[in-house]
Amino acid sequence: MRLGVLDVGSNTVHLLVVDAHPGARPLPAHSHKVELRLAQLLDEDGAIGPEGVDKLVGVVQEALQAAEDKGVEELLPFATSAVREASNADDVLARVQTETGVELQVLTGAEEARLTFLAARRWFGWSAGKLLVLDIGGGSLEIAYGIDEEPDAAASLPLGAGRLTAAWLPGDPPEPDAIRALRRHVRAQIARTVGEFSRFGAPDHVVATSKTFKQLARLAGAARSADGLYVQRELKRGSLESWVPRLAGMTTAQRALLPGVSEGRAEQLIAGAMVAEGAMDLFGVETLEVCPWALREGVILRRLDQMQSA
């Protein structure tokens, strides 16, 4: 059947259409993506303002039309941290449902981490052993660890690249004092969770998902997206540590000229790099591998599992 996943994230609203059936890998058929940056549209009270809600409704309507055009039989709509943590989340969800007919399922941070872990496990298989999975979104950082398809530990921290950029790095380029303050904040947040994971022992394989990690790996010399899904892409901590101060000294326009960096993500790349560096350092990770599958694929895989067991 043809499934559609509508991901209302902190940076983008992304419709992924796949051809899928239980027991087979989902085959991408169409992608429709709009950068909305909901994480940066929150007002002082933590609410998504009228303009942001108007944009969200319009983008969801566009995605619905694209899903219909592509023959989607079932749509799986969900929202993550930007909507989840908005002070007016209930009003936003109600308006989206009233005006579009779409009932967004709001995932908890732990659910995000578990579903992303499922996707990584299916991609790498059982031979990968104990997995540590890191995912940096626009609003949050997800961490999960385990040897099965359900992680033994999962955590979600408010360390998304968009959120941190808006709250901590107003300058272009950011002031050195702001960079230092953000570094302290990021590392203190991550350090609180390390013990929860370290009691399970060292992972056999460390995996990262998300656009942030893909861009950082590309800067460090990994293959381009155009080279295909099945090319191994790694990020080494030493390479990342050398890039962080360089990125901090660049303007947004300068970062946008770097290989693999999209104009829409250039502003928040330094914050994302600092989160990645902090996580790799505090978890003792020297090298990680970038996984092409992430949360959207996890949602699809869970739905296929439910269909198989029905």
pLDDT in tens, 148-187: 999 999 999 999 999 999 999 999 999 999 999 999 999 9
| 299 token code pair | 């949602």
* Contact of 216 with 243, CB cutoff 8 Å: yes
In 3-state terms, what secondary structure has residue 136? strand
Helix axes 161-168, 176-198, angle to 10 degrees: 140
Q: Quote the pLDDT of residue 310.
A: 64
% of residues, the chain, pLDDT over 90: 86
Q: 309 pLDDT exceeds 90?
A: no
pLDDT for the residue 239:
97
Task: Give residue 135's pLDDT.
Answer: 98
Grade residue 41 by pLDDT with cuts at 50, 70 and 90.
Answer: confident
Which of 42-51, 53-62, 201-210, 298-307 is predicted least confidently?
42-51
Please give the average per-residue pLDDT across 8-20, as a whole number.
93
pLDDT of residue 143: 98
* pLDDT digits 0-9 by tens, 93-110: 999 999 999 999 999 999
CB contact at 8 A, 82 and 47: no
Rg (CA), the chain: 19
Task: Summarize pLDDT for 45-89 with one digit per residue, the tens.
Answer: 889 989 899 999 999 999 999 999 999 999 999 999 899 999 999
- Can you give the pLDDT at residue 125? 96
Q: Are 248 and 179 in contact (CB under 8 A)?
A: yes
User: For all residues of the chain together, what is the average pLDDT?
Assistant: 95
Q: Name the 3-class secondary structure at 60.
A: helix
pLDDT of residue 38: 84
Q: Specify whether the CB–CB gap between 7 and 78 falls below 8 A.
A: yes
Whole-structure pTM over 0.85, yes or no? yes
The C-alpha atoms of residue 1 and residue 31 are separated, in whole angstroms, by: 16
Q: Which helix (DSSP H) or strand (DSSP E) does residue 206 occupy?
A: strand 205-209
Element (H, E) at 135: strand 131-136
Tell whether the model's pLDDT for residue 278 goes beyond 70.
Answer: yes
Question: Could you say which DSSP state residue 41 is in?
Answer: -
